Chain A
Amino acid sequence: MKKRILGLLAGASMLMPLSAFAAPVEITLWHMEQPPHRVARIQEIIDAFNTAHPDIVVKQEPQNWGEVYAKAPAALSAGAGPDMLFAIPDFTPILKNIGALTSVADFVAELDKKHDFVDSTVQSYSYDGGVWAVPLYNMAMSLWYRKSVLDGAGLKVPETWADWKAAAEKLSVDGTYGIGVPANKQLYTDQTIYSVMVNGGATEIYNEDGTLRFNNPQTVAALDYYAQLQKLSPPDSTSWTWGEAEACFVSKSCGMIMQFSVISSYDTQGGGDPADLGVAPIPHADGEKDHNTIAYANAVMLLSKDEAKRKASEEFIRYLLEPETYGKFLNMEPGLFMPVTADGAKAESFWGDPMATKYKAQIEQIIANSQNGRLFGFTSGRTFPSIAAISAQNVIAETLQSIVVGGKSAADAVAGGQDRMVEVSK
């Protein structure tokens, strides 16, 4: 009898798939969504995924945008890199150049068939015959203001640069700054300057042949105008990043700011009255007609060379883009992260979030603003590798600093900026 039972057990164990005994595949996700509420939301999604997929264990390791450009190549070189890493378009050429990326064209095609990606978000990662990351969410810069503040000053929402400057001047009273624009040598400043540049006809920084065309009259006019706005901003805006601008707005020290979203901080620290929170497209130059802005299609790169880990990473991304999950992921920062898929844009999980419901009007406006989104270096359907160095060294912001801190004229600064772009591209 004993022998029989043992025999049965042995037979049964042979029938069980080997995977039942295999350790789960562990994959690591690096992302740069550091605020605690975003980390918590990502963890919720990871926990749900891990529960539904016992053979895979995903863990997150939040990083910081300021360091990841240096840290990721070093970690990958040391064999300690992540299996998945969030990216913005100019980050991918760096990792591609050190051989860390393989094309995800087939995987993106599979996802596109199912979810229908917004074309421009895939284009930002499509160059040199491959697709180097999977788009995850879009971000677009907007102008934020308080309706009561504008109404109190008898102002309308600015449409043109002239309106905008006049409004900023009128709002600069009693220790309040009419506008808060950054002038730090940092990514946020690159973003706000480019948002002004694209509204003044200075969209392209490259010619078709890859040579630079940053030094042109439209760029000079845009930077000159931006420097005038900066004079109406707090004096420490030369050291601002995103957080300081948001703090200035929610504390009512700044009348207007340019930001991807202020909804979360406004809701918790700025009064939280949705009827008073205004969001508008970035004003355009007086001769222009359309409102444009900077838009970032954020994506995820698959870095693992191990087949099992790569497949597990793909499974996690499939899960993330499912409409039931996707809205929850996007709403880790309501109003900041816009969908990149057609079914995601309609997802109940996106619009059903209490914050999305409360600030629905603002979110719809951001989505509308993002329709005319551009990104420097990724505007013409061609991508030139030097954009990675230009972006990493914040040359656009550095050019502005040479005006507002160095006292140069806009024309000299822009000429110097182009020289610097050439230098860093070598």
Chain B
Amino acid sequence: MQKSRSLAFAFVAPALLVLAAILGWPLVSAVLLSLQDVRTIGSQGQWVGFTNYSTVISNPMFWTSVGMSIVWVVANAALQTVLALMAALTLNQNFPGVKIARTWIILTWIVPTVVVVIIWRWLFSTSGGMINPLMMQTGIVSRPVGFFSTPWTAMATLIFINSWRWFPFIALMMLAGLTRIPADLYEAARIDGANGWKRFTRITWPLLAPTLGVLTVVGTLLSFNVFDIIWLLTAGGPAGGTRTLPVMIYETAFKGYKLSEAATISVLATMLLMAFALVATRWLAKEGDSR
């Protein structure tokens, strides 16, 4: 038994080593970089210990960005969950064209980010865009709205666009969860006189909760790291109003030419995410055990 276990380990060891190197080396490099004072790629730096960490932690901009990242993640999670749940429940019904709808719902997700950005930038534009004239014609507003003109509206608009892009993917995951719920449970509830709301709250929601839990963890990690849409639409502006941590890391490294400081922010962000992932997975495991 011991021999076969050793043999098995010997077989998987090379793959594990390669995996460890691929995953571990960038992390180790980032930590090493954060302990130096390298400014631009290709230049040499001196070892400065934890100076960068004290600089970053004492920078109010860092904490503002942490706050913005939290707002970004929570708002995206909430909006995407609501939209995805609605879509999944709809797609779980039988109606003509449901198969086509299930296939094409992922369209927003497969469109390249740059295309998404161009489409929405044009739609929201005050010079030739479609949304402002529609809002004015229907009397919602009397003057064109600059969707990216204030920090608050820019953040809300970005959250909307990002959620629009990602909710179909989450909806499909939820749909997979929904199809696993036995149909006879609904049948029995219906015979017992449970209305639609009760069937949802007593059957659908509790049985979908594990899927939602996993999606929350994965979605949070993915949302937190979103950079492309934010950078291409607002570049963290206006007035730093959408400068989440990934945007701050990029700005610090490639606009401020402070590569080591950017690595420090990356390490701190990774620690935050790891802490979240640890707590969330433990909570999920606990929930799983209690069921």
Shortest C-beta distance, B79 to chain A (Å), equals 22
Q: From known contacts A239-B238, A389-B256, infer whether A98 and B126 are also in contact, taking CB-CB under 8 Å.
A: no
Q: Provide the residues of chain B in CB contact with A180, threshold 8 Å.
A: 127
Interface with A: B3-11, B19-27, B144-152, B272-280, which one?
A: B144-152
Asked if residues B43 and A98 are in contact (CB atoms below 8 Å), the reply is yes
Binary interface encoding of chain B residues 250-291 relative to chain A, with 1 for a CB under 8 A from any of its CBs, else 0: 010111110000000000000000000000000000000000
Q: Does B14 contact A (CB under 8 A)?
A: no
Of B124, B147, B234, B238, most A-chain CB atoms within 10 Å: B238
A185–B247 CA distance with the chains assembled, in angstroms: 14
Indicate if A406 sits at the interface (CB-CB under 8 A).
Answer: yes
Give B64-121 interface residues, CB cut-off 8 Å to A.
121
**A77-B42, A186-B235 are known contacts. Are A234 and B255 too (CB-CB below 8 A)?**
no
A238 and B145 CA atoms in complex are apart in Å by 12
Q: How far is the CA of A173 from the CA of B43 in the complex (A)?
A: 54
Segment of A118-126, A128-136, A209-217, A245-253 in the binding face: A245-253
* Complex contact B128–A251 (CB within 8 A): yes
Interfacial residues of chain A within 209-249, with CB under 8 A of chain B in the complex: 234-239, 244, 247-248
Query: How far is A251 from B40 in the complex, measured between Cα atoms in Å?
Result: 42
Least distance between A255 CB and chain B CB atoms (Å): 12
Chain B residue numbers with a CB within 8 Å of A236 are 124-127, 146-149
Tell me the bound Cα distance from A389 to B259 in angstroms. 13
**CB interface residues, B 33-80, toward A, < 8 Å:** 40-43
Determine the distance from Cα of A314 to Cα of B220 in the docked complex, in whole angstroms.
52
| Candidate in B127, B146, B148, B254 with the most chain A CB atoms within 10 angstroms | B127
Q: Chain B binding site: helix, strand, loop or mixed by DSSP?
A: loop
Contact status B256-A393, CB under 8 Å: yes
- Interface size, A (range): 35 or more
A183 in contact (CB, < 8 A): yes
- Give the CA-CA distance A424 to B146 in the complex, in Å: 30
Q: Does B18 contact A (CB under 8 A)?
A: no
B251 to chain A, nearest CB (A): 7
Contacts of A405 in B (CB 8 A): 149-151, 237-239, 241
Contacts of B256 in A (CB 8 A): 389, 392-393, 424
Count chain B residues whose beta carbon lies closer than 8 angstroms to a beta carbon of A: 34
Q: A98-B42, A405-B151 are in contact. Are A247 and B235 (CB under 8 A)?
A: no
Residue of A nearest to B42 (CB): A77
Is B239 within 8 A of A234, CB to CB?
no
Per the bound structure, the CA–CA distance linking A186 and B235 in Å amounts to: 9
Q: Which of A53-61, A66-74, A105-113 contacts B (4 or more CB under 8 A)?
A: A66-74
CB–CB A185/B126 < 8 A:
no
Distance in angstroms between the alpha carbons of A60 and B238 in the assembled complex:
34
Evaluate contact between A69 and B255: CB separation under 8 angstroms.
Answer: yes
Q: Does B233 contact A (CB under 8 A)?
A: yes
Q: Is B125 in contact with A97, judged by CB distance below 8 angstroms? A: no
Which of B126, B235, B241 is A235 in contact with, Cβ under 8 Å? B126
| 12 sampled A-B residue pairs with Cβ under 8 A | A73-B41, A77-B42, A94-B40, A100-B42, A234-B127, A236-B124, A237-B146, A238-B146, A239-B238, A392-B256, A392-B257, A405-B239
Where the two chains meet, the residues of A that have a C-beta atom closer than 8 Å to any C-beta of B are 66, 69-70, 73-74, 76-77, 94, 97-98, 100, 175, 180, 183-186, 234-239, 244, 247-248, 251, 253-254, 388-389, 392-394, 398, 401-402, 405-406, 424
Please list the 6 inter-chain residue pairs (A to B) with the smallest Cβ-Cβ separation, ordered nearest first: A235-B146, A77-B42, A70-B254, A239-B148, A405-B239, A253-B127
Known: A94-B257, A180-B127, A247-B125. 6 other contacts (CB 8 A): A69-B254, A234-B146, A235-B149, A253-B127, A392-B256, A424-B256
